Amino acid sequence: MIPIARPCLGPEEERAVAEVMASGMLAAGPKVRAFEAAFARFCGLPGDAAVACSSGTSGLLVAVQSLGLPRGAKVLTTPFSFIATANCIMAWGLEPVFIDVDPETAMITAEGVEAALDADPSIRAVIPVHLYGQPCEIHQMVEVAHARGVLVIEDCAQAHGASENGVPVGSVGDLAVFSFYATKNMTTGEGGMITGRNDELLDRCRIIVDQGARVRYQHETLGFNYRMTSIAAAIGLCQLEKLPALNDHRRRNAATLTEGLRGIPWLRVPAERDGCVHVFHQYVVQTDHRPALQEHLANCGVSTAIHYPKVIPDQPFYAADGFATVDLPVARQLTQTVLALPVHPMVSTEGIATVIDAVRSFVP
């Protein structure tokens, strides 16, 4: 079976972990600081513009907390994402505001953000998502938001190394959050990174991640243990060095898939936005024949996945709070048609050919 995801780890990571274990410095320390600096520079930012944390979810929680918004304040975001994108809003007593997405990219648009902010000036922040490895219209969104005094947190959990107009994601908004979960384009097992251009907010994040303290036992704000371990940072440094090559491999696999699947009348292949570098965390097609196609592909030895089978407002926790009434026709339609095919670097050339042949042999 060709897996839908598989981490790319090797002897470099094993040696790096062994060195940390031998050093005895397992918690946050110099290795974490080195990873922060390297990742910030990878995003085109100064070396002090990154804060490592324990997961992408904890990074989102910290980023939203750092905004200091009053309870009940509104935060605009997408309904078509992993639930952590909205949970980080709800966790601080804020109100998520959902708008519909573009049918081709499955992401919210700058035009949609502008319309929502003009319709409701009480919205205080925006959390767009760079979905599946594709950058959203982040420059235009930030311009629209900042003109109205609204802050922007980029959700970059799926977009390590993606860029819009030559500018890496994670370096445009006030803050940005990356995830290093096992299936991401680079991994530390679990782990996350907060980056951004707002130095004041980054400083707040750095304190929150470490129990709200700059100095031990001097807690100046509400904080928690969201620190990254030195073991995770050691893996991350190795993975970051490999990331450009891994992303190139994903892009080659994606290009081969797109060429091989082109022209199938019942299938829509993903498109790369003009001026963007899509790093294909997921290769997501759209079809009205998903259940039968999934079964067929499984029988052919090809794993698939659905990202996402429900919009966030229709999840039980949100529906119980009245969000299921939000009108989101495009996003809800996408939950019925999207299907991810294997694209990761561990899929061989022969494996990609198998995926193409399996899809083409399906008769709807």
Output the domain CATH number for residue 253: 3.90.1150.10
Beta bridge partners of 219: 213
Q: Can you give the CATH number for the domain in which 113 is found? A: 3.40.640.10
pLDDT attached to residue 29:
87
Task: Report which secondary-structure segment, H or E, holds 123.
Answer: strand 123-127
Q: Could you give the CA distance from residue 43 to residue 58 in angstroms, rounded to a whole number?
A: 20
In a domain, 1, yes or no: no
Q: Tell me: do 223 and 273 sit in the same domain.
A: no
Q: What is the mean pLDDT of the chain?
A: 98
Q: Quick one: DSSP state of residue 348? A: -
Q: Tell me: do 267 and 147 sit in the same domain.
A: no
Q: Could you give the CA distance from residue 23 to residue 125 in angstroms, rounded to a whole number?
A: 42
Q: Tell me: do 151 and 247 sit in the same domain.
A: no
Mean pLDDT, residues 304-312: 98
pLDDT attached to residue 300:
98
Q: Tell me if 8 sits within 8 A of 206, measured CB to CB.
A: no
Residue 224 has pLDDT above 90, yes or no: yes
Q: Tell me, what amino acid is at 190? A: E
Phi and psi (nearest 5°) for 19? Answer: -65, -40
pTM, 2 dp = 0.98
Tens of pLDDT, residues 274-294: 999 999 999 999 999 999 999
**Cα–Cα distances in Å, from 10 out to 16, 242, 253, 329?**
10, 11, 21, 44
Q: Tell me: do 278 and 231 sit in the same domain.
A: no
Which of 185, 217, 237 is the last residue before a domain boundary? 237
Q: Tell me: do 206 and 345 sit in the same domain.
A: no
Q: Tell me: do 186 and 269 sit in the same domain.
A: no
Q: Tell me if 136 sits within 8 A of 158, measured CB to CB.
A: no
In a domain, 6, yes or no: no
Q: Could you give the CA distance from residue 154 to residue 176 in angstroms, rounded to a whole number?
A: 4
- Which DSSP string do the residues of 286-303 spell out, in sequence order? E-TTHHHHHHHHHHTTB-
pLDDT attached to residue 28:
84
Tens of pLDDT, residues 158-178: 999 999 999 999 999 999 999
| Residue 260 domain boundaries | 243-360
In a domain, 264, yes or no: yes
Work out how many domains the chain is built from and give that number: 2
Q: Tell me: do 185 and 269 sit in the same domain.
A: no
Report residue 98 CA to chain centroid gap: 18
Tens of pLDDT, residues 198-211: 999 999 999 999 99
* pLDDT tier for residue 355 given thresholds of 50, 70 and 90: very high
Q: Tell me: do 228 and 248 sit in the same domain.
A: no
To 10 degrees, the CA torsion angle through 20, 24, 29, 31?
-10
Mean pLDDT, residues 72-94: 98
Q: Tell me: do 231 and 247 sit in the same domain.
A: no
Q: Tell me, what amino acid is at 63? A: A
Which of 217, 237, 257 is the last residue before a domain boundary? 237
In a domain, 293, yes or no: yes
**Cα–Cα distances in Å, from 106 out to 90, 147, 160, 337?**
22, 25, 18, 11
Which of 214, 237, 260 is the last residue before a domain boundary? 237
pLDDT attached to residue 315:
98
Tens of pLDDT, residues 5-32: 999 999 999 999 999 999 998 988 899 9
pLDDT attached to residue 178:
99
Q: Tell me if 238 sits within 8 A of 13, measured CB to CB.
A: yes
> Please, where are the H alpha helices in 175-328?
199-209, 230-261, 290-299, 316-319
Tens of pLDDT, residues 238-248: 999 999 999 99
